[in-house]
Structure 1
């Protein structure tokens, strides 16, 4: 008995799972035995039970995890000690193997489960699951070769055009007229700087030169029809998303002398005149109609204008006092530069320039309509009205001036 009790204390219980579920009678009998065991071990007032049942409960103490019960020593000195041999065995285990004692009856009472609250037995049906293969852990970082380029804030673009016009009229043409040939070459180059933060600098150089020959002019084999050198430079500091504080410079002159038919008088020449306008104001960037209309408005309440001529014979025509080469004045200025892509092959570029002082006003409106047949061939219509009340008044046109031409020829943009 002693050997059996010691083996029971050190051996772990083995549970055997059965697929067959117990009947309700067996479950009820098991619950009743647990209730009887609880009453015999933990309650002070024990019910009146038969001797065989009391012995059975004492036997169970020997096979449970070894616990020190205080009533074991007390009952060894009673008259019923001979009827309970299990008590002697428990006391022997307490003395011989104290290392097997796992707790006391007081500790068990503190951790006991209220068996009365269990209405139905708890069944555990564990299911076996196949071991899922572990997912390989990918590295959180992958080596990537990064090439860093120095940012380029400059953009360059340009437009080249060479237009020709030939008109032949026979000597007996019933409406009269004369044959003539004309050609027009133009070059527009732009270099713009924008650091995408606060600063931008726009530069545009426009070069135009046109020639015409006619039989009726006996003094000149060729005369210039279009002659322009113009540089526009604009430095802007961003104020808001669309507005910039801007300083603008505009300077223009021409390549060669200009004449009229059968007239030897020179009407203009290189640096005669030379116009320079320097203004301080604000720019508004335009990007409308789904990027089809782009450009800017420049409004300058303060502007300085200088007009110079190296030929004193032209001073009166240019509004400069006799004997002077320079004209200085201050006023206000505005410039509108827009480009509207009206259709896939039709583009309208317009430039409206105005300068005003208390004494005189200049207004120029340049309009260029370009119809592109393909990448290299295009046709142009140029309309250029101008108003200047600082020069001598004309008897027919007053202070208004007008230039217009139409041409077809080669054009290339990049």
Structure 2
């Protein structure tokens, strides 16, 4: 009987080992719905205390640190609910037996070991990327500002993002977009390979939170291209690396968009103060981009708006759109990029790309005016993380 009593005392989550069976409840912390007890954390992190943490507190502390999602309430809520109810006491026969007198005493001393506290440094960076290799049919209007022609071609795209958010009003977003497409048409006898799509663009934002959705933001957009821009059977070079280079810093406010239960996400940047620098490495190409013939650069001030959105229309259809507008109140530039992605499986997808562009600072075309248009449909490999 004594051995059974000792076993029950060590296992039972409610009773203690004394003869009065007073209600203790210390073991019950491991079996009732998990609660955050202040004395557990205070005892573990109090540097001035020499007391070792017992096994029960060590177990609870391990849950607090590694699985906080399992904690359902706090000690304050538990105290407000009231104390643990005492169960009815049962009468137990405590008559002395000869076995009890000669049985060895159980050592209730439990060995305690020092605990090493490990505090993991939070990681405020998030990384993501998209890669694709596509085969497509391409349409380019005759006055497209970088040249090109309608054709069947190949396109490789890479989008990399590294964003910092310390959850304390400061954030820093970085996005690098690279697109490079090649084409080889039988009608072009002068060029073996030409670039059909060519873009290097960096977008950086430094924001200080003003409210739940609004940020004071300094934005920088810089863009150029990899290769020379050519037309079929035309020896003239229309653009090349750093010809042009656009650098556009702006100061304004960002509004974070998270609508339709997270299906539509993105941001809107409104900047009443914006600066636009156009650099052309080759002076002979300056006229195509509004520069004087003897200059490498042109700059002006104005206002801008940038909208970046991703809308998951359904499980297998996604729409990514970017609208950029800049005006000096004498000239206007607008670009609207739209990519509709139709997912076949994890690695195969089809893209529909529509890109209207308006620039009244460029030479006016007889058929299209200041409007330019690019479109392609593609099918190929894609991967994201």
TM-score in terms of structure 2 length: 0.68
Q: Which has the larger radius of gyration?
A: 1
Pick from 12, 22, 28 the counterpart of residue 134 of structure 1: 22
Structure 1 residue ranges, 4+ long, deviating more than 4 angstroms after superposition: none
The reply to whether residue 368 of structure 1 matches residue 339 of structure 2 is yes
Which residue among 270, 273, 288 is the counterpart of 2:241?
270
Identify the match of residue 256 of structure 2 among 267, 278, 285: 285
Query: Could you list the runs of 5+ residues in structure 2 that have no partner in the other structure?
Result: 1-18, 28-38, 41-56, 66-117, 139-149
Higher helix content, 1 or 2: 1
SS state of the match for residue 316, structure 1? helix
Superposition pairs of residues 297-376 of structure 1, within 5 angstroms: 297-376=268-347
* Deviation for aligned residue 1:135: 3.2
1:409 matched to 2:297: no
Q: Which position in structure 1 is the counterpart of 2:135?
A: 164
The correspondence of residues 172-321 of structure 1 with structure 2, limited to 5 A, is: 181-321=152-292
d(CA) in 1 for partners of 2:261, 2:124? 24
SS of equivalent to 2:122: coil
Q: Give the Cα separation in 1 of the matches to 2:289 and 2:376.
A: 24
Alpha-carbon distance in 1 for matches of 2:320, 2:173: 17
The answer (yes or no) to whether the contact 2:129–2:160 under 8 Å persists in 1 is yes
Other-structure match for 1:389 = 360
1:181·1:212 contact (CA, 8 Å) conserved in 2? yes
1:6-44 Cα deviation digits (max 9, x unpaired): xxxxxxxxxxxxxxxxxxxxxxxxxxxxxxxxxxxxxxx
* Aligned residue pairs, count: 273
CA distance in 2: counterparts of 1:247 and 1:256, whole angstroms: 30
8 Å contact kept, 2:310–2:320: yes
Q: What's the RMSD between the two structures over aligned residues?
A: 1.8
Alpha carbons 2:246, 2:279 under 8 Å: kept: yes
Contact persistence 1:209–1:226 (CA under 8 A)? yes
Q: Which aligned pairs between 1:55-70 and structure 2 lie closer than 5 A?
A: none
Corresponding residue SS for 1:299 = strand
Matched position secondary structure for 2:314: coil
Which runs of structure 2 are paired with 1:29-40 in the superposition (5 Å)? none
Which residue is equivalent to 1:101? none
Distance 1:401 1:156, change over 3 A: same
How far apart, CA to CA, are the structure 2 residues paired with 1:259 and 1:149? 54
SS in 2 for 1:317: helix
Contact 2:137 / 2:378 at 8 angstroms: preserved in 1? no
Output the TM-score relative to the length of structure 1: 0.64
Distance 2:217 2:346 in 1: 35
Is the 8 Å Cα contact of residues 332 and 355 (structure 1) preserved in structure 2?
yes
Q: With CA pairs under 8 Å and 6+ residues apart, which has the higher RCO, 1 or 2?
A: 2
